[in-house]
Amino acid sequence: MFPLQRGRRLRTNESIRSLVRETSLSPSDFMFPMFIAEGENVQVEIPSMPGIFRRSVDLTVKEVQELFALGIRAVNIYVKVDEKLKDNAGTEAWNPNGLMQNAIRAIKTACPEMIVMPDVALDPYSIYGHDGIITNGDVENDATNDALVKMAVSHAEAGADFVAPSDMMDGRVLRLRQGLDAAGFHNVGIMSYSAKYASAFYGPFRDALDSAPKEADVVVPKDKKTYQMDYANRIEAIKEALWDVEEGADMVMVKPGIAYLDIVREVKNAVNVPVTVYHVSGEYAMIKAAAERGWLDNDKIMMEQLMCIKRAGASLISTYFAKEAAILLNK
């Protein structure tokens, strides 16, 4: 009781505050999402994500080596697929010489200790921009799972450490675990996007990969709400995460991040595996836009948001700020 207890004693100066700080950040808390394009010596900035680029494999490898030197130990990779290679079944997704597979091999050759987690979903490969195969106007769950297994095994053959299914099909974690094990990849992990919400915060990401749902000459869902989660729901997120753990997920993910910290804490309390949080493109873009206008301090807001995500229960944060934050922390 006051005056015997004075909370301000523990806030007197930075040295005391650092002694009693409950949460800390380090570069190894971050995973960097990377966009990969065809070609050589290609680097194209994404207009809605200042400072983030689509890079060809050769430049991606150089960036990965810089990230590793900063203390970042994981990358989550996505590919921008040529329109000519897209179809409804996403068959390019398991091409052993595809862009994703070549990128995985190149990264693991140049930087073997970097943990590579390629995205497993069909939307970059789909003519319709959906995460699965369209049949009779909807995404066909089980046929999509069969395709995702082929995709994941091809990633494992290329050298992936984890596969990261972001599709939100029912039962896909179990099918992936069975498929990887049957192919001899018992030690390749699964980081499942377990609580992935149908969020408007993904807009810049879809610009980066051209992966938004498209108009078509057949009936297709206009959005991804039949498989991504309703953002009004909380209990459903816990259920999805628990199911994924039961099916064999080694890590679960909550996506988006800052707007869903209540879900992060709920999932963290419910599961016994590491929880990853995706600090998504829209959350990044908002900070960059406000900072460009002088309305917010980029570095201060960046570090506060990352700390809040960690405090909420994240074991790993997938964030476009990873490199910036690591440089700041290393200072």
Q: Residues with catalytic annotation? A: 196, 255
How many CB atoms neighbour CB 325 within 10 A? 25
- Alpha-carbon gap, residue 271 to 251, rounded angstroms: 9
Are 177 and 247 in contact by the 8 Å Cβ rule? The answer is yes
Residue 46: HSE in the Cβ half-sphere, 13 Å Cα cutoff: 26
The enclosing H or E element of 55 equals strand 53-55
Task: Note the maximum CA span of the chain.
Answer: 74
- Alpha-carbon gap, residue 113 to 247, rounded angstroms: 27
Q: Which residues are annotated as a binding site for Mg(2+)?
A: 240
Q: Which residues are annotated as a binding site?
A: 240
In three-state form (DSSP H/G/I as H, E/B as E, the rest C), the secondary structure along 174-213 is HHHHHHHHHCCCCCCEEEEEEEEECCHHHHHHHHHHCCCC
Q: Which amino acid is at 185?
A: F
Instruction: Please provide residue 219's backbone torsions phi and psi, each rounded to the nearest 5 degrees.
Output: -75, 125
Q: Which amino acid is at 236?
A: E
